[in-house]
Amino acid sequence: MYFGTVYGLVESAFKRLSKYGASFNISYGQALFFDIREAKALHAGIIQFTFQTGYIQRPVKRENEGQKMIGLLLTGHDQFAGGLLSAINMVAGSQPHIKVLSFEDRHAATYPAKLNAAIGSLRAESNGVIVLTDFMGGTPWNQAMIATQDYSDVAVIAGANVPMLLDTLDYLESDYTLDDMVEELIAAGKDGVMYRHLPRLRAVEYEDPSEKGEGI
């Protein structure tokens, strides 16, 4: 079980949970504790959050159980894609349905063919495919755009990050269309980039009781 502590308001999480009737009254700078009950809960469609101020259980319904899910391919320079998936696995449990393809200098010549094969394999077994790359204009992005230019069931997104992927887990097996998923992921990725500053803690002077002749 993984516990994390997040300081400040997490607007993107609140927005998504509020769609299911949850309400919050958490002040800025207050600690927020959340508990994602590992992969079993995710695969069962349940994510449970334990807040310092209360408890919420939000089931994620799989409207069309057994239908093909949207395929997801992570790709980027060097260990970017593998590192991103490793972070997701640590936070939310193993995600074997997310595929990874790294672009490395020593294998640059074979990358386009491997990318085409990976996308083709996902298209055959999925209800649409999303290719997440590290940044626009790099080789993984350029090659993904070339490989998918004739496919209406494949979308390429640049700027992949952890909040974007965590949000994905809720919707891969939902009745979301590919366009819906793209819109959701971009929003989650943007919402996950924020700046916060905690106010400095006020120093508390300690008085030694022995200096006043008081016993302990």
CA distance linking residue 155 with residue 73, whole number of Å: 10
Boundaries of domain holding 105: 71-191
For residue 75, tell me if it sits in a domain: yes
The CATH number of residue 130's host domain is 3.40.50.510
- Answer yes or no: do 84 and 187 share one domain: yes
CA distance linking residue 88 with residue 21, whole number of Å: 26
- Answer yes or no: do 107 and 155 share one domain: yes
CA distance linking residue 154 with residue 70, whole number of Å: 10
pLDDT score of 200: 85
pLDDT in tens, 116-161: 999 999 999 999 999 999 999 999 999 999 999 999 999 999 999 9
Say what percent of the chain tops pLDDT 90.
53
- Answer yes or no: do 53 and 114 share one domain: no
61-65, 109-113, 166-170, 196-200: range with lowest mean pLDDT: 61-65
Q: Which of 11, 30, 59 is the last residue of a domain?
A: 59
Q: What's the distance, Cα to Cα, between the start and end of the chain in Å?
A: 41
pLDDT score of 34: 39
pTM higher than 0.95: no
- Answer yes or no: do 9 and 48 share one domain: yes
Q: Which of 36, 59, 82 is the last residue of a domain?
A: 59
For residue 180, tell me if it sits in a domain: yes
Q: Which residue has the higher pLDDT, 178 or 204?
A: 178
CA distance linking residue 38 with residue 93, whole number of Å: 5
Residue 2 has pLDDT above 50, yes or no: no
Strands 31-36 and 2-7: what pairing? antiparallel
Question: 184 CB contacts (<8 Å, ≥6 apart)?
Answer: 167, 171, 176
- Answer yes or no: do 104 and 170 share one domain: yes
- Cβ contact 74:85 at 8 Å: yes
Q: How far is CA 209 from CA 80, 215, 216, in A?
A: 55, 7, 7
pLDDT score of 171: 81
pLDDT score of 214: 59
- Answer yes or no: do 82 and 182 share one domain: yes
Helix axes of 178-191 and 162-171: crossing angle, nearest 10 degrees: 140
pLDDT score of 35: 40
pLDDT score of 118: 98
Burial of 91 (0-12, 13-18, 19+ CB in 10 A): middle
For residue 82, tell me if it sits in a domain: yes
pLDDT in tens, 45-84: 433 333 333 323 333 344 445 567 899 999 999 999 999 9
For the ranges 20-34, 60-74, 194-208, the one whose mean pLDDT is highest: 194-208
- Give the H/E segment covering residue 88: helix 80-92
pLDDT score of 41: 42
For residue 87, tell me if it sits in a domain: yes
